[in-house]
Amino acid sequence: MNLHVCALALLLFGSIASVRGRAVDIVDDSNDVDNSIETEAEPAQEEKPRNRAFDADWLKFTKTPPTKMLQAEGATVEIVCEMMGSQVPSIQWVVGHLPRSELEDLDSNQLSEDAPSAIVRVRSVHIIDHPLSEARTYTCVGRSGSKTIYASTVVHPPRSSRHVAEKTYPGAQKPRITYTEKTHLDLMGSNILLPCQAHAVPRAEVTWFNNENKEIVAGHRFKVLSTGQLMIADIKWEDMGNYKCVARNAVGFDTADTFVYPVLKEQD
């Protein structure tokens, strides 16, 4: 089964958004932010590079952030954004209003490996761990190759918290995994990096478990980096399965799974 067939299966059974393109302009001063998608014209067909699953880059939301949220008194807010695309999508968050042109030109603060044959589903969570004094817009910006998509959420403060100092809630906080991949498909023989970033006070320690639910110890093909990423070199068919990231501190822990699918190269 090649990457194209695998991706189609995921698109059919993964509850992926049915249209692609960019979210509408987010510079509207009202609090009614429209996260609908504008359909773009199909790009001209180009010759497909070797080991590429598609004729062009593509990127779709698999979970669009809500347009509005209300912060409860003393509560932490979590805004979830998921997308899937060819290569390795990156997600970052922008606070406040930015024109569309600036969003498209924004430098990414997420590092991703050069993986032209990969198809990846990424999940990012933005944490608001302080009381808001006013309504604020948070925009999820995703990139993959030449594609950029984005959607915005307006978070409203509780009435009693307006005009208060926006200081982080005091005390320790249990880990919340904020950046991970839900699915990673790539050709056999590729080297892949699986992210696992966590928001925690104090800082969380990251541990990975393999597809047999055994803790990963550094070896010739597996290594957990200081950034929390799991590096798997020269992926093989037997590497297929769920890999679990565990972020833990003195207060508690959080977990996230990534399904790795090595794919056979197409025969010439």
DSSP assignment of 40-53, as one string? PPPPPP-PPPTT-S
Beta pairing, strands 222-224 & 230-232: antiparallel
Six token digits for residue 68: 């509005």
Structural domain including 119 reads 1-38+50-168
Model confidence, pTM? 0.78
SS3 state at 36 = coil
Burial (CB count within 10 angstroms: exposed 0-12, middle 13-18, buried 19+), residue 149: buried
Same domain, 91 and 182: no
Distance CA 213, CA 248 (A): 17
* Count of domains for the chain: 2
Same domain, 73 and 176: no
Same domain, 120 and 197: no
The pLDDT tens digits of the residues spanning 234-262 come to: 999 999 999 999 999 999 999 999 999 99
Q: Is residue 13 part of a domain?
A: yes
The pLDDT tens digits of the residues spanning 63-105 come to: 999 999 999 988 999 999 999 999 899 999 999 876 566 666 6
Q: Which amino acid is at 142?
A: G
Other Cβ atoms closer than 10 A to 150:
27
Contact partners, residue 59, CB within 8 Å, separation at least 6: 20, 83, 84, 85, 86, 89, 142, 143, 144, 145, 147, 148, 149
Q: Check residues 156 and 266 and name the one with the higher pLDDT.
A: 156
CATH of residue 185's domain is 2.60.40.10
